[in-house]
Amino acid sequence: MNRRVRRLGFFASLAAASIALTSCAGLSAFGEELSRAWQGVPATFTSYDQAGNPIDEVHGTSFRVARDTRFDTTEVGSDGKTSTTPGEVLLISIGDSHISHVGSSACLVQDGLDPIGDAADYVKFSNSQPGMPWLNDLREKFQNQWHGRSKTILIRSQDGKPISVFAGNAVEVFATDVPKSTWFRVDGKMLWCYRVDYTTYDTKLLSSP
């Protein structure tokens, strides 16, 4: 193993350790979750049928979406260990009221974040740039933890029908405790998606010849 390869391995390990310990985006996300628990966010909640058509659209100035833990199930296995399966019912706080939702596709979009258009039925592009996949993957994870990348998000219904497209210069993605949901932060705004099909692209790919 030559010196250059050892050096690359050292810096890769160092970067991975930095990601695992803490991150600017991770700490900020934790702070945002606390803020939502206390005061919510101004947003619009929309659910969609299988064809991508809106079923309902609700705007509020104090939204928070969480898993309704009343629908979690707990079982004791033959080995005596207890396991909990998270429920898929949403507990949606709006002002001093609540909405419950399960099943159909839904998005919560914070005020100030607007779609740039409808999702495409078909996307095609090519890319001939050489790369080093393991390093490329590491960079993606690192940038997501710190400041995001310029990305375009195509959202479709569970049947693949177009819903909308969002884009931002700094897009980060986070897991949530709600099954089949994803939280995107797009230029500091919240886009929360439940039971949708989606694809994210580095925006520069979409301008490839």
Where is pLDDT greater, at 162 or 131? Answer: 162
The DSSP string of the chain is --HHHHHHHHHHHHHHHHHHH--HHHHHHHHHHHHHHHH-EEEEEEEE-TTS-EEEEEEEEEEEEEE-GGG-EEEE-TTS-EEEEPP--EEEEETTEEEEE-SSEEEEEETT----BPPPS-----------HHHHHHHHHHHHHHT-EEEEEEEE-TT--EEEEEEEEEEEEEE-SSTTEEEEEETTEEEEEES-EEEEEEHHHHT--
Indicate whether 145 belongs to any domain.
Answer: yes
Indicate whether 8 belongs to any domain.
Answer: no
Indicate whether 57 belongs to any domain.
Answer: yes
* Mean per-residue pLDDT over the chain, rounded: 81
Indicate whether 3 belongs to any domain.
Answer: no
Nearest CA to 121 out of 143, 154, 94 is that of 154
Report the number of distinct structural domains present in the chain: 1
Q: pTM here?
A: 0.77
Q: What is the pLDDT of residue 35?
A: 52
Indicate whether 108 belongs to any domain.
Answer: yes
- The most confident of the ranges 43-47, 50-54, 77-81 is 43-47
Indicate whether 5 belongs to any domain.
Answer: no
pLDDT band of 15, cuts 50, 70, 90? very low
Structural domain that includes position 53: 19-206
Indicate whether 142 belongs to any domain.
Answer: yes
pLDDT > 70? residue 10:
no
Q: What is the pLDDT of residue 148?
A: 77
Indicate whether 6 belongs to any domain.
Answer: no
- Mean pLDDT check: name the lowest of 4-13, 148-157, 193-202: 4-13
Q: In this structure, what is the dihedral angle of CA atoms 167, 165, 110, 173, given to the nearest 10 degrees?
A: -60
Per-residue pLDDT averaged across 77-84, rounded?
A: 83
Q: What is the pLDDT of residue 18?
A: 45
pLDDT > 60? residue 95:
yes
